[in-house]
Amino acid sequence: NSLANVFINTSNFDYAEEFLVKANSVFAKTDNSFYSVLANLNLGICHFSKKIPDYPKSKGAFKTALEYCDLLEPKKGSFYKAWIYNYIGAIYYKNGHYQEAIDNYNMSLQYTSDPMWESIAYMNIAESLIAEKRYDKANKWLNKSIAHESTLSEDNMLELNMIRASAFNGNGKYDK
């Protein structure tokens, strides 16, 4: 799993996948659910992040990771569930299934109390609503995200501002 992370971080997803498949076969023979969560989460990220994403494989790996999350102590399991549901939401979003994306982003909110993760989920919900041209509702979610903006990284702030611009543009509020 650690070697796979090196390959993921260098966008060498084919090599990462090879190591993660091996890691999964090793972890399946142990009682350590935590490593199975990580291996399947990372495998899902690999399939999601490839130049030509394989969303069905990604979703399958995320669903397997969710099953292992149920075997972890609740706090740790919830942390990973929030992350995984956010990725599943992103898969639905990328495939144009915006309501399913919103449902999964809302699921991620059920498993986190971290203001940064909440802000990201709010932002993702807003982006899905914008895609559905539901701008007023999107603005409500953007305002929730903005309330936690101090917790966001510079990249997340840039994304938040781009989504805000899309919402204003959709509402015809170009001057804001």
* pTM of the full structure: 0.86
pLDDT for res 150: 80
**DSSP-derived secondary structure letter, 173:** -
CB proximity list for 143: less than 8 A, separation 6 or greater? none
Please tell me the distance from the alpha carbon of residue 42 to that of residue 24, in angstroms, as a whole number: 11
Q: From first to last of its 176 residues, what are the pLDDT tens digits of the chain?
A: 566 666 677 777 887 888 888 888 888 888 889 989 999 999 999 999 989 999 999 999 999 999 999 999 999 899 999 999 999 999 999 999 999 999 999 999 999 989 989 999 999 999 999 999 999 899 899 889 888 878 777 877 777 777 777 776 665 554 44
Please tell me the distance from the alpha carbon of residue 142 to that of residue 61, in angstroms, as a whole number: 30
Phi, psi of 11 (to 5 degrees): 60, 30
